[in-house]
Structures are given as structure tokens and as C-alpha cells.
Amino acid sequence: MVAWTDAERNAITSVFAKLNPDVVGPNALARCLIVYPWTQRYFSKFGNLYSAETILGNPMVAAHGKVVFGGLEMAVKNLDDIKKTFAPLSELHSEKLHVDPDNFRLLADCITIVVASQLGSAFTAEVQAAWQKFMAVVVSGLCRQYH
């Protein structure tokens, strides 16, 4: 089990409370698809992903970004048991979707960049440290069912 200090718990939950799900999830997923174009292969049913403009304007990308954000919310609400909470999600990404687990960290980094841009000066180094620890636990939870 991951040990969190009170300061880390406070930082993670207060960052999360400041985020707009309609902005962070969609922008982070779009950013991942633009910066790491090989991740597009898992989203062929989303249609036109040919340029940054079409990715950013694609309603299916935006909708799925909100779904990803919902996954993060589950993790924030279950900080003491992210691994167990994410076991079904990990199994889905591994067994059914066959997502290369290296990609989890890439999306996690895009999420962090978008979070930083939303928070501005409130995203201090200490807050970033807690947030990155949280994202590392999320990534490790998603990787758990890979064999």
C-alpha cells in the first residue's frame, strides 16, 4: 500500500477540486494523441485524427477525455487502494484493448502538463511532487494486470 502524508493527500485532493473535467480530460487526451501520434492507433473508431486541429475539435476525443478524467476521480476517491480500484481497468487495457503500457506514462505526463497550465502559480514544486506521485501510482495501478 502507498503511504501518503497528510500534506500529499491535501495537495492531491485540492488540486483535483480545482480542475474542470470538461477541460482537463479532453485537452490531456488530445495532447497525448498529438505529441505521441502512435497512440492514435487505439482510437481508430474516433474518425478524423489527421491534424492537431481535428484532434482538438473531435467530440469523441473530448468525450473519452472526460471518461479518462472519471478514472482519475476514482483514484482520488480511493487513494488508499488505487491498485485494487484500478484492477478491472488494468485488465481491460491489457486483455481487451491491448494498450502498450508504456503509453500510460505518456498520457499521465500530458495530464500533468494540462493540470499545471490550469493551476498556474498554485502548482508549486511541492504540489507537483505530490501530484506526480499520485500519477505514478495511477500508472502502476494500470500496469498491474499486465503479464
Instruction: Catalog residues that contact ligand HEM under the rule CB under 6 A.
Output: 39, 42-43, 64, 67-68, 70-72, 89, 92-93, 97, 99, 103-104, 107-108, 138, 142
Distance of alpha carbon 130 from alpha carbon 107, whole angstroms: 17
Q: Please, which residue, 16 or 104, has the CB nearer to ligand HEM?
A: 104
Q: How far is the CB of 75 from ligand HEM (least distance, A)?
A: 7
C-beta closer to ligand HEM: residue 12 or 121 = 12
CB 63 within 8 A of CB 75: no
Q: Which helix (H) or strand (E) covers residue 98, if one does?
A: none
Which whole-number Å values give the CA distances from 79 to 33, 106, 126, 141, in the listed order?
A: 28, 21, 18, 11
Q: Closest separation between CB of residue 108 and ligand HEM, Å?
A: 5
Q: Which of 98, 17, 22 is nearest to 61 (CA)?
A: 22
DSSP letter assigned to residue 11: H
Whole-number minimum distance, CB 15 to ligand HEM, in Å?
15
Please state the closest distance from residue 125 (CB atom) to ligand HEM, in A.
Answer: 22
Nearest Cα to 114, choosing from 10, 43, 19?
19
Name which of 119 and 143 has its Cβ closer to ligand HEM.
143
**Residue 111 vs 121, nearer CB to ligand HEM:** 111
